[in-house]
Structures are given as C-alpha cells and as structure tokens.
Amino acid sequence: MLQAGRARAIGVSNFSPDYVRRLLGHATVVSAVNQVELHPYFANATVQAAGKALGILTQGWSPIGGIHRYRPADAGDVLKNPVITALAAKYGKTPVQVVLRRHLDEGRSALPKSVTRPGSPRTSTSSASRSSPGSQ
C-alpha cells in the first residue's frame, strides 16, 4: 500500500519492543507509530523508550485513564486523582486537558476515547431523534 501510494505511513498497534525489533529485521519501512495503552496509571515505559530509540512515535489509546475511569475498584478515576485535579485548578484547565497536555509535552500522540452514554441524545431511540427533516 505504501509503495503503491495508497498510504502515506504505516504503523503497528500493541507491539512490544521485541516485536518491533523483529519486524524491523524483515520490513523495508520503519513503522511511523506504535499505538499502545498509555495513561497516567500505565506509563508503558519500555515501549516508549524503544520507540524513541527506533524513531517510532508512541501513540496512546485511552490516554485519560483507560479502564480505570470506569472501574473504581481499580486505581480510581484518573480525572479525580488529587495531583491531576490540583494541577487543573492551578492552571485553570480541566483534568482532561492536564492529562492530554502531559502526553503532548512528552512527545506522544494521544487518541482520547469517546464514550456515548445510554440515554444521551446521540443514542436516544425516541421518534423525534429518528425523524428526518420533512418527515413529520
């Protein structure tokens, strides 16, 4: 795809440093990005260090806390972490902005997960939300 001009870059997802090195032993092109789980409660430091050494951008999926935001029995909601909320208050930002800024300041790309909760306007099944203009 890359050689045919149908893609400008290629990447991998969830590759450990060992897998990345093995891939580089066979590939003719270095991956532009390695998308991995990465958030304040999971730094994935070895993956980040290997990516940096190999010139591969680390991109975090669920960068604002992953499953920890939805399972309070775990480490807790990242956005309620006292350090993060204190920084947010200090700089007049939201906790999400603080977390995402940290990713950017440390040279990572971040892909926040979008969650639509049941009953929100986007998931409503009422007749008003299903009707199209002019169908009344």
Two structure tokens written together for 26: 């066979």
CATH fold of 11-114 = TIM Barrel (3.20.20)
pLDDT digits (tens, 9 = 90+) for 89-125: 999 999 999 999 999 999 999 888 766 655 545 443 4
- In this prediction the pTM is 0.73
Q: What is the pLDDT of residues 27-50, one digit of tens each?
A: 888 899 999 988 888 888 999 999
**For residue 35, what are the β-bridge partners?**
13, 59
Quick check: 76 pLDDT over 80? no
Residue 71 pLDDT class (50, 70, 90 cuts): low
Handedness of CA 66, 72, 74, 78 (dihedral sign): positive
